[in-house]
């Protein structure tokens, strides 16, 4: 994903515009000639999108920290032209504005969508993150865990069930299992162990069956490799594309990312963790599946025991595999 270089703003600040003037320059000239960065006399940053006569205007006062208007302007000696003006009124949002500008530029490349439509979609997405941005990166283990859930969502669920399946992603909201239906659940586990399907189980309830229906465990084995092509931001983009034009599903998806502490502001850092998927498989948690649950203690938990965490080894449990093919499986 493109983003605006902070040096672009630094160079504009040297211009010192006065009155109602704005100092402007192309934001990403190698991507599009229609998007400008601009600074007014108070130092406030703007994104300007050039509108053609047949294109719609846009006015938006709902985006926190941003004001959107359409007005006639003269930029760099060009004739008077209508522009969509995105004004960033929150200094703490400057880094977000750089990412917003990059996404708008990407949307302008093919010229198939109206600029107003592109801006509305990008701002709708960022409205969910604005004011809820985490102050630190997810840990390596958290990144791997989120990558695994998104892999299952993007490759196994969305192609088969469509965008409404986002409603079943319940892990970010504190539910017992990562994906929950009314009659079944799926717990997702990732491992980077060289020993194979070795997974950590957190708590005695994590592998408890739901009240109605079966429990499945999706196991994914990963390797961290410099030459690998998959990453956490990459999986997020795949999910967005497969969700498509469903605003409700996209809102739910973005909200879940906020809940788990993911921020696109740290995208460059998250891109550094490159992962290769060695194997993935969907297991039915029944029969002799290795697990510790409340049923393991018919007389109740031993006194003084408050938390149980343990590892399971699924290397010899192929007989419980429902499928290792995302195109051919049934959750029943």
pLDDT tens-digit series, residues 25-71: 999 999 999 999 999 999 999 999 999 999 999 998 877 789 999 99
SS (H, E, C) the chain: CCCCCHHHHHHHHCCCCCCCCEEEEECCCCCCCCEEEEEECCCCEEEEEECCCCCCCCCECCCCCEEEEEEEECCCCCCCEEEEEEEECCHHHHHHHHHHHHHHHHHHCCCCCCHHHHHHHHHHHHHHHCCCCCCCCCCHHHHHHHHHHHHHHHHHHHHHHCHHHHHHECHHHCCCCCEECCCCEEEEEEECCCCCCEEEEECCCCCCCCCCCCEEEEEEEEEECCCCCECHHHHHHHHHHHHCCCHHHHHHHHHHHHHHCCCHHHHHHHCCCCEEEEEEEEEECCCCCCCCCHHHCCCCCCCCCCCCEEEEECCCCHHHEEECCCCCCCCC
**Predicted confidence pLDDT, tens digits, the chain (332 residues):** 789 999 999 999 888 788 888 999 999 999 999 999 999 999 999 999 999 999 999 998 877 789 999 999 988 767 889 999 999 988 888 988 999 999 999 999 988 889 999 999 888 878 777 766 556 899 999 999 999 999 999 999 999 999 999 999 999 999 999 999 999 999 999 999 999 999 999 999 999 999 999 999 999 999 999 999 999 999 999 999 999 888 889 889 988 998 999 988 888 899 999 999 999 999 999 999 999 999 999 988 899 998 899 999 999 999 999 999 999 999 98
């Amino acid at each position: 994903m493109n983003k605006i270089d902070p040096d672009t703003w630094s160079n504009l600040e040297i211009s010192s515009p006065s009155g109602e003037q704005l100092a402007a320059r192309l934001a990403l000239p190698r991507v599009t000639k229609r998007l400008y960065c601009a600074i007014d006399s108070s130092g406030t940053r703007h994104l300007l999108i050039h509108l053609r006569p047949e294109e719609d205007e846009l006015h938006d006062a709902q985006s926190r920290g941003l004001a959107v208007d359409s007005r006639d302007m003269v930029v760099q000696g060009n004739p008077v032209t209508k522009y969509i003006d995105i004004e960033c009124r929150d200094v703490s949002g400057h880094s977000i504005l750089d990412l917003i500008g990059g996404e708008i530029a990407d949307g302008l490349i093919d010229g198939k969508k109206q600029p107003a439509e592109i801006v509305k979609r990008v701002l709708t997405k960022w409205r969910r993150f604005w004011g809820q941005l985490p102050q630190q990166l997810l840990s390596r283990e958290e990144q791997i865990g989120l990558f695994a859930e998104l892999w299952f969502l993007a490759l196994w669920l969305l192609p088969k069930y469509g965008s409404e399946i986002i409603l079943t992603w319940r892990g970010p909201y504190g539910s017992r299992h990562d994906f929950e239906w009314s009659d079944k659940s799926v717990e997702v586990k990732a491992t980077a162990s060289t020993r194979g399907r070795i997974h950590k189980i957190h708590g005695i309830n994590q592998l408890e069956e739901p009240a109605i229906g079966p429990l499945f465990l999706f196991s994914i084995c990963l390797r961290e490799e410099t030459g690998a092509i998959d990453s956490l931001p990459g999986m997020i983009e795949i999910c967005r594309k497969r969700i498509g034009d469903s605003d409700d599903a996209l809102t739910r998806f973005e909200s879940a990312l906020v809940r788990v502490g993911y921020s696109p502001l740290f995208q460059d850092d998250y891109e550094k963790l490159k992962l290769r998927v060695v194997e993935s498989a969907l297991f039915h948690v029944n029969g002799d599946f290795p697990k510790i649950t409340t049923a393991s203690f018919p007389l109740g938990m031993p006194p003084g025991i408050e938390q149980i965490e343990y590892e399971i080894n699924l290397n010899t449990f192929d007989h419980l595999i429902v499928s290792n093919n995302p195109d051919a499986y049934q959750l029943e």
